[in-house]
Chains A and B, each alone.
Chain A
Amino acid sequence: MSRSVFDGLKFRRVYSPIHNLDPRVKFIYVLGVFVAAILFGEILPLFTLFLMQIPFVLLAGVQKEWLRSLRGALFLAAFIFATNVLFRFIGAGYAILPTDVEFSAAMTLRFIVLVESFSVFFLTTSPDHLGLALEQSRVPYEFSFAFTTAVRFVPVLAEEAQTIMDAQKARGLELEKGNFMKRIRNYVPVLIPLIVSAIRRSLELAEAMESRAWGATKKRTNLYELRLHRGDLALLLFTIGFLAVEIYIRLFVPVPTLAQLLL
């Protein structure tokens, strides 16, 4: 399950209008969606938000990966729905009300909207671009570098985890054996070598970087400068307008629930 969620965040190098957008603007857009998802607790606006992402996904041509990340989030979504229903059920004095089910569904949808928008962002933004965007937003280079390196090493670590599991299976380890607690303990022989080698790798990386004069100059220049193009400005304007509209609606327009509309 966890691996497929990561798959939904793994960047693949392709070109599309969405991939070419400035990562900063894209991030502001994602934040806009984020804010909207938090502002509204009703199912109708959340569903609108959910649908709003789909044109982006189609334009970027990342449907397959995007669906995979949603499938990966399904387990957690089901969990959110179940706990919401359960506590509303208890809170309502052990009765299931349609409004409570609707509210639980809305909370689940909120989670899915957050996952899908972040997934679109990571699927269409290369780690290099991301680092560049962080740097040009005046995040100290040490931090932006650490961040991009971390993102870049996720697939490497996933592969290494597979090798470690193979090596331990060859020594008779059966990961799927035993009760719940035993199964968790089964992962100790996999996690320790993984952590140790990650630390060792980071030390080696640090030495290799220092021997290539990392941090020798205080002021770095970039080969590529991020500039806002027409598409970026359009998305930026759209995001600002969209934010204004959502705040206006939140403040002055009552949003009906499905239950109110139907019953």
Chain B
Amino acid sequence: MIEVENVRFKYPSGVEALKGVTLTIKDGEFVAIMGQNGAGKTTLVKHFNGLLKPSTGKVRVDNTETTKASVASLSKTVGFVFQNPDNQLFSETVEEEIAFALKNFGFAEETIEKQITWALNLLSLTQYRKTSPFMLSGGERKRVALASVLAWDPQMLILDEPTIGQDHEQKEKLRQFIVQLQTQGKTVVIVTHDVEFVAECNPRVILMKEGKIVADGGGKEILTNAEVLRQSSIVLPQIAQIFVHLTSLGLAKDLIDIYEAKEILLRVWRERAR
């Protein structure tokens, strides 16, 4: 569980990126944090594994205050995958890249071997085991970065902009993968601009603006609230846009799921055809 209590954070440059944020993320929750550039999303999630410590207020991870623990010890529970894989890849082979964190955490040799195989398989990277990560494509490098964090099987996972540079198929795989983590009871927090991806996943959505939380609720509820979205410069997901234009047909406006939308449209079409 992650508890954030009235956190304010000021960068050394004097910019106050968080201006009093309070929230609780329960175990097993799937949360998407959205908002404009500079809203404080990344600053907020960097508090979850202690990379940043609050200027005032408190952050607790599983009842441990982050100011009282090292990043390394918190990271064992909270895995953080950075936006740009090039900010972390440095090893000669993909295998060594994944082993890096496992060695830092002091896992036994056999466990490391087992976890590497597991993580490679999970992200369909097995064929690249002995390849240099620098030889891979952008999307593959992103998966290596993800695998290198998943390898120690953290209880909570933070993904900063996971869909950037991924094609549609990879995004779909990522979605299924997150669903799979959910069934295992893991907590997943994503920071993203990708409205369509969030609409497809329908997680809890937290909207941020200028260092504050402006909305917090179910994906469907928030992503169909045009007024709230406009404040954060986010457009409605396409499905919701269609149904806004179809209000004259007397249809519900709060829709973001493709399959639900299809059913409703088919029903209308059949009724008219009759």
Instruction: Identify the A interface with B (CB < 8 A).
Output: 160, 163-164, 166-174, 188-189, 192-193, 196-197, 200
Q: How many angstroms between the C-alpha atoms of A185 and B101 in the bound complex?
A: 15
Q: Is B221 an interface residue (CB 8 A)?
A: no
Whole-angstrom distance between the Cβ of A187 and the nearest chain B Cβ: 11
**Closest chain A residue to B92, Cβ basis:** A192
Q: Is the CB of B82 within 8 A of A170?
A: yes
Q: Is B104 an interface residue (CB 8 A)?
A: yes
Known: A166-B51, A166-B82, A189-B100. A172 touches B75 (CB 8 A): yes
Q: How many angstroms between the C-alpha atoms of A172 and B102 in the bound complex?
A: 8
Instruction: Identify the B interface with A (CB < 8 A).
Output: 46, 49, 51, 70-72, 75-76, 79-80, 82, 84, 86-90, 100-101, 104-105, 134, 148-149
Contacts of A170 in B (CB 8 A): 49, 51, 71, 75, 79-80, 82, 149
**Closest chain B residue to A197, Cβ basis:** B86
| Number of residue pairs A-B, CB distance < 8 angstroms | 62
Whole-angstrom distance between the Cβ of B141 and the nearest chain A Cβ: 11
Contacts of A189 in B (CB 8 A): 88, 90, 100
- Residue among A172, A189, A193, A197 with most chain B CB within 10 A: A172
Whole-angstrom distance between the Cβ of A191 and the nearest chain B Cβ: 8
Name the prevailing secondary structure of the A interface residues. Answer: helix
Residue of B49, B80, B90 touching A188 (CB-CB under 8 A): B90
**Closest chain B residue to A200, Cβ basis:** B86
Q: Is the CB of B72 within 8 A of A173?
A: yes
Whole-angstrom distance between the Cβ of A133 and the nearest chain B Cβ: 29
Q: How many angstroms between the C-alpha atoms of A174 and B103 in the bound complex?
A: 12
Q: Is the CB of A167 within 8 A of B82?
A: yes
Known: A169-B72, A169-B75, A170-B75. A193 touches B88 (CB 8 A): yes
Contacts of A192 in B (CB 8 A): 90
- Residue among A166, A188, A200 with most chain B CB within 10 A: A166
Contacts of B76 in A (CB 8 A): 172
Q: How many angstroms between the C-alpha atoms of A192 and B96 in the bound complex?
A: 14
Known: A166-B82, A171-B100, A173-B104. A193 touches B46 (CB 8 A): no
Q: Is the CB of B82 within 8 A of A163?
A: yes
Q: How many angstroms between the C-alpha atoms of A189 and B70 in the bound complex?
A: 19
